[in-house]
Chains A and B, each alone.
Chain A
Amino acid sequence: MDSSELPTVVSITEDSLDLDALLGAITLPSTGAAAIFSGMVRGVTARENPHETLYLEYEAYRPMAEEVMGRIAAEIRERWPSVEGIALVQRIGRLYPGTPTVLIACTAPHRDTGVFEAARYGIDRLKEIVPIWKKEVGPGGAVWIEGEHPTAGEG
């Protein structure tokens, strides 16, 4: 199948993430496996600098974010040609602990075709280059989380 006919969902949304609907959108008659990663707001952090989080406030440069997510999907297809469907969805707005914030899913005919690695690559790249930001609000105040520095020429 031409990769342009394979289902790709990339989106920045203010709505709650609907795993069933998303999986349905990237499942073909030949699909037998899906690897799914979801990140959620962590209320209590134990590692490194232990602290509590009241909520996260996400924002995105939406048109560019969706374009860059589309480019990441193309990178996944290049590296794992057996991947059938790809979904990269980031929720934005104010999100409280326990709430899923991001959903990455890749489907394939079988599980031993690289789908796990493909989904892992998707979330790593999203964190690296997609123009999305979060402000963490805790009992002591608010701070913008400054993560990765995208490199020119990427995305």
Chain B
Amino acid sequence: MSRLKLLLFASLREAAGARSLELELPAGATVADLKRRLVAERPALARWSESLKVAVDRHYAGDEAVIPDGAEIALIPPVSGG
């Protein structure tokens, strides 16, 4: 098991009421595992489960990507820069 810190932004940050949160995931867990665990532990965030992207070490990662130990992980709601 490893304890991961997830960075939160915008609507997700407001919904969670925090700039980051922590999750326990087994070693070798994927982005899809992370999303499942997130929604299980924080049902209030379920409405983002379809639209949410995950950035691992500042790159967008697909559901199948394995999360490396000590990675910088951020949850990215749909973006709206400009």
Q: Is the CB of A150 within 8 A of B79?
A: yes
Q: Once the chains are docked, how many angstroms separate the CA of A102 from the CA of B82? A: 6
Q: Does A153 contact B (CB under 8 A)?
A: yes
Residues on A facing B (Cβ under 8 Å): 39, 58-61, 63-65, 67-68, 90, 101-102, 123, 126-135, 144-155
- Nearest CB in chain B: distance from A147 CB, A: 4
| 6 chain-A/chain-B pairs, Cβ below 8 angstroms | A127-B81, A130-B79, A144-B77, A150-B79, A152-B62, A155-B60
Known A-B contacts A102-B82, A153-B60; A144 and B11 likewise in contact (beta carbons under 8 Å): yes
Q: Once the chains are docked, how many angstroms separate the CA of A148 from the CA of B76? A: 11
Q: Is the CB of A61 within 8 A of B76?
A: yes
Q: How large is the interface on B (under 10, 10 to 19, 20 to 34, 35 or more residues)?
A: 20 to 34
Q: Is the CB of A101 within 8 A of B82?
A: yes
Q: Once the chains are docked, how many angstroms separate the CA of A132 from the CA of B10? A: 9
Known: A64-B74, A102-B82, A131-B79; 10 extra A-B contacts, CB below 8 A, are A39-B82, A59-B10, A64-B55, A68-B58, A144-B10, A144-B14, A146-B78, A149-B51, A149-B53, A150-B76
Q: Is the CB of B82 within 8 A of A129?
A: no
Number of A-B contacts (CB under 8 A): 91
Known A-B contacts A149-B53, A150-B60, A152-B65; A61 and B9 likewise in contact (beta carbons under 8 Å): yes
- Nearest CB in chain B: distance from A133 CB, A: 4
Question: Which B residues are CB-close (under 8 A) to A129?
Answer: 60, 79
Q: Is the CB of B74 within 8 A of A123?
A: no
- Nearest CB in chain B: distance from A58 CB, A: 8
Question: Which B residues are CB-close (under 8 A) to A65?
Answer: 81
Known A-B contacts A63-B58, A64-B74, A152-B53; A133 and B82 likewise in contact (beta carbons under 8 Å): no
Known A-B contacts A61-B55, A150-B60; A127 and B11 likewise in contact (beta carbons under 8 Å): no
Closest B residue, CB atoms, query A154 = B60
Q: Once the chains are docked, how many angstroms separate the CA of A129 from the CA of B9? A: 15
Question: Which B residues are CB-close (under 8 A) to A126?
Answer: 81-82
Q: Once the chains are docked, how many angstroms separate the CA of A151 from the CA of B55? A: 11
Q: Once the chains are docked, how many angstroms separate the CA of A123 from the CA of B82? A: 7
